[in-house]
Structure 1
Amino acid sequence: MRHRIRNILILMALLNVIGLTLLVPFRTSLVFYEKNTDHLEAFLPISIGDTFQLIFTHSIHLTDVVEKYEVTDKYHMKQYEIVYEEFGIGMPSNAQEGETFTYEDGKYHIKDLDNYFSTMKVRNGKTVSENRLAWETTSSNLNTSPEKHEVWFNDYFEPGAWYTVKIEKLTLWEYLKGVKIHE
């Protein structure tokens, strides 16, 4: 009888450890949720201080617009720069106070942006579906440059669909069942 109780207690402890391992948040990620739901569509493992870019083709002038973000220690996305080639509908024509407006290599840059987002709504283009996600990774070798990565939204998302984007810590369970964005 004692062995049976001991075995049950060991089994319960083991199940608790497995449950905690699967349900405790452990990995910071850029997470794409379908619309306004908690249905995790895809994620990109990312760390505090890392940067990423959302690149879309403007539907009117058909040139790339690059929005650059940094992951903050409060799990926000800080927009620090926007790069574009043409003025037009929806594009800024100058910098605001505290920002810097430059023209470099044929592109307009608005730098020193200080825009923070806890969530963003992102739509994958339907008519002009050329949206991309770009990021860099560094290796453990300090002598190498960061490696640049870029993926097309259409490889992960349905054209015309929209997503809620957040920086969150995923549990191992979410990590295992979700779609990891990779090049």
Structure 2
Amino acid sequence: MRKFQPIHYLLIIFIILIFFAFIPFQKAIIFQPNHSNAEFAYIPVKNGTHFGIKYTHSIHLSDVIESYKITRDQSIQQYELMYEDFAIGMPSNAENGETFEQINGAYYIKNMKRNFPYFHLRIGQVRANHTVIFKNKEYPLSRSISPGTSVKVEIRNLNFFKQWEGVNILESL
């Protein structure tokens, strides 16, 4: 009977490591450019994670913050909208089951339950300054994604190699 040589053990370990490198294990918010080969940006997350997207409204030139959470089925649920000015493009009241509040001069629509498998966003070129708010820190998307780029925002599981291909927004500052 033939004995295993140390090289055999190393080869087996190497094959196992390669195998595990292709298993998607890290849940992430993905900002995937549409219609281009540009690399995607991502934020590693867990279920129930909350995040926001803040931007400057193009007409009012005031801040708008859309608040989201990740559900168990990996969809994105918008649960709140904050804005400072009523006018073109902004809601004037809450929908069924939602609440409308005015707090310190800002307007809030709360208790929203709007679920999306994904949504599209165009990174502003002039003044929108789209920014992700994650764990009370702000990350301008223009640092990871070229202004003017249209992106698909979705939740995906990434393997080791996919994480390597993308840009971790939390590390890009």
- Give the letter aligned to residue 137 of structure 2: H
Whole-angstrom CA distance in 1 between matches of 2:148 and 2:4: 57
Tell me the distance in 2 between the aligned counterparts of 1:22 and 1:38: 23
User: 1:32–1:40: 8 Å Cα contact kept in structure 2?
Assistant: no
Which residue identity lines up with residue 151 of structure 2 in the other structure? Y
SS at match of 1:25: coil
| 1:135 alignment partner in structure 2 | 134
Asked if the contact 2:53–2:67 (Cα under 8 Å) also holds between the matched residues in 1, the reply is yes
Deviation at 1:13, TM superposition (A): 2.9
Match of 1:86 in 2: 85
For 1:47-66, list aligned pairs within 5 A.
47-66=46-65
Find the residue that maps to 1:122 and give its secondary structure: strand
Relative distance call for 1:131 and 1:12 in structure 2 (3 A) is same
Point out where structure 1 has 5 or more consecutive residues left out of the alignment. Answer: 137-147
CA shift at 1:10, angstroms? 4.4
2:63–2:83 CA contact under 8 A, matched in 1: yes
By how many angstroms is 1:3 displaced? Answer: 6.2
Deviates further, 12-21 or 87-96: 12-21
User: Which residue does the alignment assign to 1:126?
Assistant: 125
One-letter code aligned to 1:156: S
Task: Provide, for residues 48-94 of structure 1, a one-character-per-residue CA deviation record: whole Å limited to 9, x for no partner.
Answer: 01100001110001001100001111111100000000112221010
Match of 2:146 in 1: 158
Fraction of identical pairs, as percent: 31
The answer to whether the 8 A contact 1:129-1:154 is kept is no
1:109-143 deviations in whole A, cap 9, x for unaligned? 0001110011110110122241100011xxxxxxx
Distance 1:172 1:59 in 2: 38
Does the CA-based 8 Å contact 1:25-1:172 persist in structure 2? yes
Q: Which amino acid aligns with 2:77?
A: K
Moved over 2 A (4+): 2-16, 36-40
State the shift of 1:8 in Å. Answer: 7.7
Q: CA deviation at 1:37?
A: 6.7
Contact 2:57–2:128, Cα closer than 8 Å, also in 1: no
1:96 maps to 2:84: no
Equivalent in the alignment of 1:69: 68
Unaligned runs of 5+ in 2: none
Task: Give the 3 Å change call, closer, same or farther, for CA 37–158 of structure 1 in structure 2.
Answer: closer
TM-score normalised by the chain length of structure 2: 0.89
SS at match of 2:167: coil
Deviation at 1:153, TM superposition (A): 1.4
RMSD, aligned CA: 2.2
Q: Could you say if the C-alpha distance between residues 30 and 11 of structure 1 is closer, same or farther in structure 2, counting changes exceeding 3 Å? A: same
Q: Find out whether 1:176 has 2:132 as its counterpart.
A: no
- The residue type paired with residue 114 of structure 1 is K
In structure 1, what is the equivalent of residue 116 of structure 2?
117
